[in-house]
Structure 1
Amino acid sequence: MTLTTPESDRPAVVVTGARTGIGAACAHWFADRGWHVVGVDIDDPALPDALAADHTGIVGSVTEEQTWTRVEEHLASCGHTLRALVNNAAYQPERPLLETSVEEFTAVLDTNVTGMFRGIKTADRLLAHDGAIVNMASVLGFTADPVLGAYCVSKGAVVQLTRSAALAFAGRGIRVNAVCPGAVRTPLTTRIWDLADDPEAARAQMERLYPSRRIAEPEDIAAIVGLLAGGETRAMTGSLVVADGGLTATNAEFALTGGLA
């Protein structure tokens, strides 16, 4: 449903990693429903081009306190009340765990966990009563991928950060939940297909791993994020919403018989 409130009463949402992929889809979802979107991204511009004129992009890393200071300053000056934070920004190097340097491991945690915590601390100061925080976790928060070692560790931490934050905010009516996607059709995923000798065959092989026989679109995940940000889900906090097309409902036998066979 699209909001029709006066400009000064528009709710605001902060979306990190807003330039592309799931973050961009989330930014569009909220904008289409009348929210004022504050997009944060390390890339310039920080928002999809279609949103740049009517919304606010802040170029900066979630790992830097000055980025969050700029978010606070904008929200203080624009007159919109912060009602949702979408912690989506992430760093995903493709490297087995034991081949990961301490420096790179630290960088992954700094973006995916500490950067998210900085957002939560900012929300602590600004978020309205009955507001919502939605963290982007992953099915790799409770499964593991041999070539995404540090990323898996970080997403496991996001799961526990979500639960801990849910308890911390519960007395104020602020809900904290996480979405745990499987593969989503973003540049990170399609790059895997593009590097294969037969990209179309690689895509089809990945799809067969999923009982739904499809890779989720960013808009699929954005719709779940939007639901969690709204009042319709006020009974949910500390919850993990798995959106993986049935992947974690399977076992190795599915891959051999129902999936890859």
Structure 2
Amino acid sequence: MKTGNRVLSAMVLVLCLFLASGCTSVPKEDNIYQVSLLNALLQGEYDGFISVGTLKGHGDTGIGTFDTLDGEMIFLDGNVYKAKVDGTVELMDDQVMVPFAVATMFEPDVVVKPYNAIADIETLKNAMDACIAETTNDFNRFYVAKVQGLFSHVRVRSVPSQQKPYRPLSVIASTQKEYTYEQVEGTIVAFRSPAYVEGINLPGWHLHFLSEDKSKGGHLLEATLVQGEIGMGDMKEFQLILPSSSSFAAMDIADDRREETLAIEGVAKP
């Protein structure tokens, strides 16, 4: 065999071993991994098709929900937690399935900044947007943030597990349970998507909360930060995994569901 052919064969062998080892799926700090589409979730695509273990292979931080829309996901420091409809929080096994989520490797390469006396959730979102304006000034990227500290007030929600035939999320929202906590330490996990991905994800900030003792959490509705720190990173690569179900194939994904999104998020209509 000629030397050139031997070198080529060796290169092919190394490449095959590299692919077989799964090295190509090593998560990167600037990559966002998304399971399904927001518009699919809004229309009732609640069957999990990606496992928690798989999600962990693409990051250490994220938010989402679980099979049959059973609770709110807080993916923090490599562990996946479920904020249940009864107000409790449970650590999830790798075998649990996920119908919708976003995940990334958290790296606060945009800003780490202390904050005091942030009165409400809209002020917090504005403060995080100000961090972007002062650093990258690029609102066409995706961002992830952690807000860690002491909160004088937190209000969260979760939703109950659903049974088929699944109803739209806007209908189920009326059955959600809300919980209010005072003087609690914890972490907000937040993702910001640009406006052009509407229908794929939620434009703007989407926030979930987990208490320091891992006993309280959910989708964040209200928050008052006494003192804490905001760390933020940006993501410029996007990976989207779609369901392969017949129900997904039959959906009108491009349908405008902005009004539903605003209502579910608890945002006042403009």
Q: TM-score, structure 2 length as denominator?
A: 0.27
Q: TM-score, structure 1 length as denominator?
A: 0.27
Q: Which has the larger helix fraction?
A: 1
The answer to which structure, 1 or 2, has the higher relative contact order (CA under 8 A, 6+ apart) is 2
